[in-house]
Chains A and B, each alone.
Chain A
Amino acid sequence: MEISYPTRDGDGSLVRMTRSQLRSELEDGTQAAAARAKVPPLATDELDHLLDIWASPARFSSVDIGDEVVLTYDGSGSKTVGTRTQDLLISEQMLGADSVELAHVDYSFKAVKTILPHEAQNMKDAQLVLTAPVMYGAMPNLGLYSQPDGPVPNWSELLPLTKIDEARAAQEEAIEHAVKDMVAVADAMWEAGADGIDFDTAGAAGDADLLATLLAVEKIRAAHPDMGIEVGMAGEFVLGVHGQLEYDGVRLAGLWPREQMALVRRAGATIFGPAVNVNTRKSGAWNIARALTLVKPCMDVAEVPVHMNVGMGVGGVPMSSHLPLDAVSRASRACVDILQLDGL
């Protein structure tokens, strides 16, 4: 009778699977990704290595000594223990963070723009007492620019009414507002001494959201040649909510990570963060195989560091509020071992 091992489902539930079952999950996951994105599945030796990681009762798994990578973050600190600067210090001094990210709990550029001087002062104060690089992060979050939260008509309401032209026009107008806000925040943060800026969940509202981000990155790069710019995606596939938007002649709807990375690089970013969402109805093994298959094509052509998003509900990590260490460490190790990532 085969030995069973503790493992996680996509929702974080602890289950048990045999080596054979885990192998089957890994193969299903990679084949599903390959068929969907029309990319090669993982190789046999890669699946073998993943199986060795997953078919283990160990609480923690890690890369070999010497293969360590660095980490960037979407926000650092709990924001409940102390001040935000204290939280950043905790991340640096007690958790050994390679970099930290100052962020506001209302984590959107539109919201942050309204309190920008306060945020900039926080950045300046934090830089005085931190040694690690301090980034500033927020989300493009294009939806906030639609009514009732913003000035433009709500395209989510227009689309079901088949008002396609009006919906597209609304998104195009929202892009203009979003770019202005993102550039304003980046300018202020650079002035305050930030090491870089992070655009988190780019593309969350679809192709218009990604286009706003790319246009903002372009402007920021032109204004600040030395500024670090990280673009982290919202998902593995860019939804064509608008459907006709292009950046530098490339249609944004339907892009997978490799094509996303090319445009992010072209716009001027220094770090690209692909994201692959977790299917909570599938096993952790299925999810990691799928995630690695979708991101692997990036690595052959990467010209900037690739920091895959590995966290709650992305990158093979279960979608749960308190992340189990066994799941996070396995996913992290798998991403570095198989993909030869530059960071997480």
Chain B
Amino acid sequence: MRAAGDLVARMQITRGMRIGEAKAYVAERLGVSPSDLSDPLAMEDVRRDQQLGRITTFEMSYASESSAMESKFRIAELLDLRVNCVERFAQHAGVARAMTAVDSWA
């Protein structure tokens, strides 16, 4: 999460994308170059602007920004990816957005 490793990992875990394909996909969705994906400085701005969650420390906290589950909603939308816990959370919380997606899972 210092850069975009978690996003690339999601494309591998869920869609079985090879590393080159996963990097290209994530880069295209984020509007950056693949080389930016491993640059923590470049990704700091992207993660902040896109609300994708960041590393927090005692000195650098972002209570007014998205984090954790909130960020995963953003990640799912940005990557056009069905994130299981996002769908479950939306269903359990009664958020209509993801209801049909979960209902379709037997």
Task: Say which one of A13-21, A106-114, A220-228, A234-242 lies at the interface with B.
Answer: A220-228
- Taking CB atoms, residues of chain B closer than 8 Å to A66 are 34-35, 38
B84 in contact with A131 (CB, 8 Å): no
Which residues of A from 49 to 96 have beta carbons under 8 Å from B?
A: 65-66, 68-72, 92-93, 96
Contact of A228 among B14, B69, B105, B106 (CB under 8 A): B14
Which residue in chain A gives the minimum CB-CB distance to B17?
A305
Which positions 83-104 of chain B face chain A at CB distance < 8 Å?
83-85, 88-89
**Residue A196 at the B interface, CB < 8 A?**
yes
Question: Does A129 belong to the interface (CB within 8 Å)?
Answer: yes
**Complexed CA–CA distance, A341 and B12 (Å):** 12
Output the least CB separation between B10 and chain A (Å): 5
- Within the complex, the shortest CB–CB distance from B43 to chain A, in Å, comes to 11
The answer to whether B85 touches A305, judged by C-beta atoms less than 8 angstroms apart, is: no
Given A131-B53, A193-B88, A195-B85: A99 and B6 within 8 A (CB)? yes
* Besides A127-B88, A195-B14, 19 other A-B contacts (C-beta < 8 A): A70-B19, A71-B9, A93-B1, A98-B9, A99-B9, A99-B13, A127-B89, A131-B6, A131-B67, A226-B84, A227-B84, A270-B12, A270-B14, A271-B13, A304-B16, A305-B12, A305-B18, A342-B12, A342-B19
Asked if A207 CB lies within 8 Å of chain B CBs, one says no
Decide yes or no whether A6 CB sits under 8 A from chain B: no
Instruction: Name the CB-closest residue of B to A189.
Output: B84
Nearest neighbor of A224 in chain B, beta-carbon distance: B105
Whether a CB of chain A sits under 8 angstroms from the CB of B63 is no
A93 with B5, Cβ < 8 A, contacts A195-B10, A195-B85, A228-B13 known: no
A324 within 8 A of B: no
Task: Fill in one digit per residue for B1-38: 1 if any A CB lies within 8 Å of its CB, else 0.
Answer: 11001101110111111110010000000000011001
**Which residue in chain B gives the minimum CB-CB distance to A63?**
B38
A193 touches B89 (CB 8 A): yes
Whether A132 sits at the interface, judged by CB under 8 Å, is yes
CB <8 Å contact, A226 and B6: no
A-B contact pairs, 23 of them (CB 8 A): A65-B35, A70-B5, A70-B22, A71-B9, A96-B2, A98-B8, A99-B9, A124-B85, A127-B88, A131-B53, A131-B72, A135-B13, A193-B88, A195-B85, A226-B14, A226-B84, A270-B15, A271-B16, A302-B18, A303-B16, A304-B18, A305-B22, A341-B19
* Count of residues in A whose CB is under 8 Å from the partner chain: 45
In chain A, residues 145-202, which have Cβ atoms closer than 8 Å to a Cβ of chain B? Answer: 190-196
Interface centre among A69, A133, A271 (most CB of B within 10 A): A133
Q: Which residues of B contact A224 (CB under 8 A)?
A: 105
Q: Please, which residues of chain A bring their CB within 8 A of the CB of B16?
A: 270-271, 303-305
CA A276 – CA B26 in complex, angstroms? 31
B84 adjacent to A271 (CB under 8 Å): no
Q: How far is the CA of A305 from the CA of B12 in the complex (A)?
A: 6
- Residues of B contacting A315 with CB < 8 Å? none
Query: Is B50 an interface residue, CB under 8 A from the partner?
Result: no
Interface centre among A68, A72, A124 (most CB of B within 10 A): A68
**Is B38 within 8 A of A193, CB to CB?**
no
Closest to B5 in A: A98
* Distance of A28 from chain B, by nearest CB (Å): 31
CB nearest neighbor in B for A299: B18
* A47 surroundings in chain B (CB, below 8 A): none
Report the Cα distance A228→B82, complex, angstroms.
11
Please, which residues of chain A bring their CB within 8 A of the CB of B10? 133, 195
Q: Which residues of B contact A203 (CB under 8 A)?
A: none
Contacts of B15 in A (CB 8 A): 270
